[in-house]
Structures are given as C-alpha cells and as structure tokens.
Amino acid sequence: MAVLEIKKFGCPTLKEKSLDVESVDDDTRSLIDRMFETMYAAEGIGLAAPQVGVSRRVVVLDVRPSDPSRVHLALVNPRIVEATGEIVGEEGCLSIPAVAGDVKRASDIRVEFLDRDGFPVTVSASGIEARALQHEIDHLDGVLVIERFSAIRRNLLRSQLRKIRKEGQRQAIGPIEVTEPVAESPS
C-alpha cells in the first residue's frame, strides 16, 4: 500500500468542511488503511482525511507512543457529544510542519462515530487522546490548529506560515501517492 501526500497549510482541501461518509465500504476501509500507513510514516499520532486530500469525515488516531494504555482508532463521521473541563497544551500539525503553539481544549470528551466496519461506537477520552481527537475533528470542519493559537503567536509565525502556505497552494487537490515518505512533526 502506498503512502499519501500530506497536504500543507494553503491547500484548499484543508479549509473545506468534510462530507459525511454515507456507508462504510471497502473504499472507506482502504482509505483508513492508507491513512494509518501515512500517519505512521510521518510519525504522527492523528490524521484526518482532508490532510490527504479527501474531503470525507474520516480520522485515524494512535496515541500509544504517549499513552500505551490506549488503542488505535479509526473514526468515521465522528462527532463530539460531550466536552467538559479545560486544558491548555502545545500542539503541532503534520500539515503545518515545524510549527507549534498552545491551544485551549476540553480536557474530557465523549465522541460518537462509526468504526471501520460501520458499527456505532462511543468513546470517552481525556489527556492526549482527547486533545488529538479534537484537533482531528477540527480538520474535518476546515479548522486549522493555527486558528486556535493566540494572535501574538500567529504574528510571530507569520513569515514561516507564509512559506508553508506557498507550498500548500502548489499542491494538487485530491489524494496523491508518494514513494518516499518524509517524517514530519507529529499532528
């Protein structure tokens, strides 16, 4: 299976609101498998379908490097049904390499979704898993992590973001297979 190109800030796919997956079929499962492979190749802990050029509500997540007690997840049409507490922590993104900043998130969430076989699942998450799920679901809604940074932080990153945006604007829309994956900072 081939690794997919990760779209960078500036690529229009990242700003679109993703469409629901109507049925979890072999194409959806193939996308999930390719997304896991891409995420692992990039050394990330989460990846949303828009980040590989697919405007569908699909997320893969594996926070086991940070929390070995968790399992990897494939989420189709995820939605946060409960969010409580508040925590601030540093976040980066595979679509915005070498950029990080503090983001305020809910500390505990409950998410409903379909698994890779189309069965409904509800997961309660906290810590890094809650943070990563919120980050990836933001991607499905066309929200990038830099939009959650403080205005001061965004201003400090302005020239770096301009450079990444130019790269992203040159990327082709849609999924593209790559032969040599390059590790980037975790999402």
Distance CA 39, CA 33 (A): 10
Q: Is 37 a catalytic residue?
A: no
Residue 5 φ then ψ, to 5° = -65, 135
For every one of its 187 residues, what pLDDT tens digit does the chain have, with 9 covering 90 and above?
A: 689 999 999 999 999 999 999 999 999 999 999 999 999 999 999 999 999 999 999 999 999 877 777 789 999 999 999 999 999 999 999 999 999 999 999 999 999 999 999 999 999 999 999 999 999 999 999 999 999 999 999 999 999 999 999 999 999 999 999 875 455 444 4
To 5 degrees, how large is the angle CA 47–CA 127–CA 57?
30
Please answer whether residues 145 and 14 qualify as being in contact, where contact means their C-beta atoms are separated by less than 8 angstroms.
no
* Residue from 5, 91, 129, 136 carrying the catalytic annotation: 136
Write out pLDDT tens, residues 118-172: 999 999 999 999 999 999 999 999 999 999 999 999 999 999 999 999 999 999 9
Give the C-alpha separation, 62 to 73, whole Å.
6
- Compute CA 141 distance to the chain's CA centroid, rounded to the nearest angstrom: 11
What is the structure's pLDDT at 80?
Answer: 98
pLDDT at 65: 75
Q: What number does CATH give the domain 3-169?
A: 3.90.45.10
The pLDDT, as a whole number, for residue 1 is 61
